[in-house]
Structure 1
Amino acid sequence: MNMKKKSWVTLPLIALLSMSTLLAACGNNSNSASPTTDGNTASTTTGKKLHIVTSFYPMQEFTSKVAGDLADVQVLVPAGTEPHDWEPTAQDIAKMTDADMLVYNGGGVESWIDQVKDTLGDSGPKLVEASQGIQMMESTEEEHEGEEAGHAEEADHATEEGHDHGSLDPHVWLSPLQAQTEVRNIETALTTLDPDHTADYKKNADAYIAELQKLDAEYKASLSKVKRKDFITQHAAFAYLAHDYGLTQVPIAGLSPEQEPSAEAMAKIVDFAKQNDVKTIFFETLVSSNVAKTIADEIGAKTDVLNPLEGLTSAETSAGENYVSVMRTNLAALEKALNE
């Protein structure tokens, strides 16, 4: 992902500020609860459904599972859209302004979040950073440049405090173990916002975490028995998964799925693959598979999909796929490749 700070080319900040002032004066949508906010702490008083906006697919899935039928949950990044370089439009800012809660992953996925915070101000929705409290892995310089194979999962852990988001790997949702923390953080935020339904949110969160615990157990059982422990993937999204299940991610490029690896990086990956008799090169949905296919052709290997769950395609949505089902498909692909 492009971890650098961006300027908003879609809408000048001064226009966003004017819009937020106007929207605040008009009041919230009548279909949403009306929270009172004090330092990002709020409570609902109307008894109506909460209106929650989430940044991209995993945040929508986790929030919907916890909120159940007590909230209308929307997602900002559309299906089939790669979220790393997505930026909000005026209409998206309006959605956020009108919401009771905004749930985002953090760690740098949402490069626009700091400007949104400034725009929305204290009277905006309750902001929930789902990855709060998770020890974020620092990406190495090699990951950024795509110049070193085999060391992504060995990056030192570091708490988010005191580090620039540009050096962090935000892909915590790709570990079923870490995803449980994100779900609990969302539960905590919902109970703070709507304490009258604390028991409901806990029941929903407990049920979904039971699913994630089962998924975690499946990953541990299956990946503990594989013949090899390293896998080559197009973009460095799977460091948390690799770390938590005893694997080694070998990324072709860095944190950005659209990053083009250098010729030196490509050569190192090809050498690694030949020396270790790698038979599968993983690519992912939503971005081009050309780099993975080039390496696979060079070494006589095949390609397969390892889905980073940054957004579902329209086909996946139509087929009823969700976080758990896609993660099971990922597990099957990993198990197959690591037993070749």
Structure 2
Amino acid sequence: MRLYINKCWKPAMILLAGVLLLAGCGKSGGGGEIVEGKLNVVTSFYPVYEFSVAIGGEDANVINLLPTGVEPHDWTPRSKDMLNTSKADLFLYNGAGLEGWVPNFLKGLNQDAKVKPVELSKGIELIYAEGDDGHNHGHAEAGENGAEEEGHADEAHADEAHSEQAHEDGHDHHIDPHTWVSPKSAKIMAENIKNSFVEADPAHKEGYEARFAELRQKLDDLDAKFTEELAKTSKKEIVVSHQAFGYLCRDYGLTQHAIMGLSPEAEPRAQDLVTLSKMVKQEGIRYIFFEELVSDKLAKTLASEAGVETLVLNPVEGLTKEQQENGDNFFTLMEKNLQNLILALK
């Protein structure tokens, strides 16, 4: 696996802090049952779950498929997950290549299932990372959001028109699926959730609209804080464990250098770590960012080699058990991300 460097300057690469409304029935962590008399919603992973619970309130029963403490890239659903989803009204997933299991999952649902699948990344200007050999090598560009195409090695759901164009151009285009990590993209996803709720359950439209407005305001405030605080930093480059921060970088004028690619599973070559270590020293980078849900071994190895420290930068793909017990959520984790970015970019 080669070194991944993703340039995210917005002009060049078009590459709940308060308590959420948790009054509605909801189950995070790979469990939950269908509840009669409510809008039953199944979500693919944590950020979608949190936004859905906030918008659904007392009118929706939200079940999250991904268990607590599990990183979503390699997770696959169980038979019980398929059974619950077959009985639900909505199945909400990120799309953009994150959940490679979705096409087969939907095919495996009961034939009489009336559940509507909703891809929440629709409407977001997606980032495409170019590379050969099926890997991203550091160039990224924006593309219009159509149907999904392969974003990880085992992911399907290709957009035929885009694939044909990519083939004609002689390039592999891999979608960065980490849309929710930027508050700007998260607002689009939240609105897609609200719209799907209203369409499926128009009798409770007023409640969905009101709760969405509260969630959108929190995301607006978070967006404004990221914009204001990151504009003040003297440095603009970050080194991360895996390439999960493209949308955050694009939207707030940063550049990410990633040890691993769009999936956090592949190991880089030794020479890539040496090259990245030299860059860290040359650029005066003081921190290497790591994530809680994946091994920090490579980040610590690079930090040791370069003589720098490590900090957490959380892609908010899920909660650890400790974070769940502490009452953390998307907003508290993103606030911590911002504070760590400010520290690293001084």
CA distance in 2, matches of 1:142, 1:98: 42
CA distance in 1, matches of 2:216, 2:267: 37
Q: 1:163 to 1:182 in 2, by over 3 A?
A: closer
Partner of 1:202: 209
Partner of 1:31: 35
- Within the candidate set 331, 340, 344, 1:337 is matched to 344
User: Could you list the per-position Cα deviations for residues 151-184 of structure 1 after superposition, in whole angstroms to 9, with x for gaps in the alignment?
Assistant: 46xx110123266233111101000011000000
- Within the candidate set 109, 117, 128, 2:118 is matched to 128
2:138 counterpart of 1:156: no
Given that residues 96 and 148 in structure 2 are in contact (C-alpha distance below 8 angstroms), is that contact kept between their aligned partners in structure 1?
no
Q: Secondary structure at the match of 1:331?
A: helix
Q: CA RMSD in A?
A: 1.8
CA distance in 2, matches of 1:102, 1:112: 13
Partner of 2:104: 115
Given that residues 172 and 240 in structure 1 are in contact (C-alpha distance below 8 angstroms), is that contact kept between their aligned partners in structure 2?
yes
Partner of 2:127: 137
Partner of 2:73: 84
Q: In structure 2, list runs of 5 or more residues that go unmatched.
A: 1-32, 152-173
Given that residues 144 and 253 in structure 1 are in contact (C-alpha distance below 8 angstroms), is that contact kept between their aligned partners in structure 2?
no
CA distance in 2, matches of 1:122, 1:181: 31
Partner of 1:59: 48
Q: 1:331 to 1:82 in 2, by over 3 A?
A: same
Q: Secondary structure at the match of 1:156?
A: strand
Partner of 1:284: 291
Q: 1:94 to 1:129 in 2, by over 3 A?
A: same
The Cα of 1:49 is off from its aligned counterpart by: 1.2
Q: Secondary structure at the match of 1:139?
A: strand
2:79 counterpart of 1:75: no
Given that residues 143 and 254 in structure 1 are in contact (C-alpha distance below 8 angstroms), is that contact kept between their aligned partners in structure 2?
no
Letter in 1 for 2:145: E
Given that residues 144 and 255 in structure 1 are in contact (C-alpha distance below 8 angstroms), is that contact kept between their aligned partners in structure 2?
no
The Cα of 1:124 is off from its aligned counterpart by: 3.2
Given that residues 290 and 311 in structure 2 are in contact (C-alpha distance below 8 angstroms), is that contact kept between their aligned partners in structure 1?
yes
Q: Which protein has the bigger helix share?
A: 1
Q: Secondary structure at the match of 2:127?
A: strand
Q: How does 1:1-340 map to 2 (within 5 A)?
A: 31-32=35-36, 48-120=37-109, 123-141=113-131, 145=135, 151=138, 155-161=140-146, 164-166=149-151, 167-339=174-346
Letter in 2 for 1:302: E
Given that residues 87 and 113 in structure 2 are in contact (C-alpha distance below 8 angstroms), is that contact kept between their aligned partners in structure 1?
no
**Which of the pair has more CA radius of gyration?**
1
Q: 1:54 to 1:297 in 2, by over 3 A?
A: same
User: Could you list the per-position Cα deviations for residues 26-56 of structure 1 after superposition, in whole angstroms to 9, with x for gaps in the alignment?
Assistant: xxx8733xxxxxxxxxxxxxxx211111000
User: Could you list the per-position Cα deviations for residues 115-143 of structure 1 after superposition, in whole angstroms to 9, with x for gaps in the alignment?
Assistant: 12222357331111111111211123289
Given that residues 34 and 40 in structure 2 are in contact (C-alpha distance below 8 angstroms), is that contact kept between their aligned partners in structure 1?
no
Q: Secondary structure at the match of 1:309?
A: coil
Identity of aligned residues (%): 39
Letter in 1 for 2:98: V
TM-score normalised by length of structure 2 = 0.81
Q: In structure 1, list runs of 5 or more residues that go unmatched.
A: 1-28, 33-47
Given that residues 128 and 175 in structure 2 are in contact (C-alpha distance below 8 angstroms), is that contact kept between their aligned partners in structure 1?
yes
